[in-house]
Chains A and B, each alone.
Chain A
Amino acid sequence: DAMVIQNPRYQVTQFGKPVTLSCSQTLNHNVMYWYQQKSSQAPKLLFHYYDKDFNNEADTPDNFQSRRPNTSFCFLDIRSPGLGDAAMYLCATSRVTSGGIHEQYFGPGTRLTVT
């Protein structure tokens, strides 16, 4: 089945220790997103790639970086995780439909714990 895969599902890192979360997709969608979601809050868009074009949200901290080496893979790098970065990180993909709309497909998420 075509899908969005995130690894690992659970990640524990130490305060200040760099961590990388990965996402892959078999949907061949040209847009990939990274969201941060904290408990009882809306998913917050960090950045997205439209093909190779990187789009950073204005309020995304510099501590968060992303790489998309090819269509299928996208990585989220947190350079120096703080306690406030503990959250669920969701990867999503989309492509434009005939109606000009993007329906996003989400992976299962990676829950990050910072100790």
Chain B
Amino acid sequence: DQQVKQNSPSLSVQEGRISILNCDYTNSMFDYFLWYKKYPAEGPTFLISISSIKDKNEDGRFTVFLNKSAKHLSLHIVPSQPGDSAVYFCAASTANFGNEKLTFGTGTRLTIIP
């Protein structure tokens, strides 16, 4: 049972435009969400997170939006740059017992076209 889903395996975006990566979840107990970025031959690196008490969190070019009623979150990157080409993983956690564990989605490969 895939509790965190990233339905788009890949996405191509022109440099300078907005990249929007989507993530859906099924477990209503999740209350904290993270995005990780992964380059080939490297481990995932933490990018940005959001708590379920918020609906938006912004950090520079990266903004994460959370729609709890739809159990949906998205990562916006604007403007997109060639260095943003990577695989992006959405992950979720609870704030309760077992909060040290993350549930990951399968990732979306983002390619920025110069």
Give A contacts to B, CB under 8 Å.
4, 6, 9, 31, 40-43, 45, 48, 50, 90-92, 94, 96, 99-109
Assess the B95–A94 pair: CB atoms within 8 A: no
Total inter-chain residue pairs, C-beta < 8 Å: 61
- Judged by DSSP, the binding face of B is loop
Are B101 and A101 within 8 A (Cβ)?
Answer: no
Indicate if the CB atoms of A108 and B43 lie closer than 8 Å.
Answer: yes
B59 at the interface (CB under 8 A from A): no
* Cα of A103 to Cα of B102 in the assembled complex, Å: 9
The answer on a CB contact under 8 Å between A105 and B46 is yes
Q: Which of A4, A31, A99 contacts B43 (CB 8 A)?
A: A4
Asked if A109 contacts B95 (CB within 8 A), the reply is no
Q: Which residues of B contact A91 (CB under 8 A)?
A: 43
B interface residue numbers (CB < 8 A to A): 2, 4, 9, 32, 34, 36, 41-46, 49, 51, 89, 93, 95, 99-102, 104-107
- Bound-state Cα–Cα, A99 to B9, Å: 32
Name the CB-closest residue of B to A106: B43
Chain A residues near B36: list those with CB within 8 A: 106
> Given that A41-B106, A42-B89, A94-B100 are known contacts, is A101 also in contact with B49, CB under 8 Å in the complex?
yes
Known: A92-B43, A103-B34. 5 other contacts (CB 8 A): A41-B106, A42-B105, A43-B89, A101-B32, A103-B49
Give CA–CA (A92, B100) in the complex, Å.
Answer: 11
Closest to A57 in B: B101
A103 contacts B99, C-beta separation under 8 Å: no
Question: What are the residues of chain B within 8 A of A106 when measuring CB–CB?
Answer: 36, 43-45
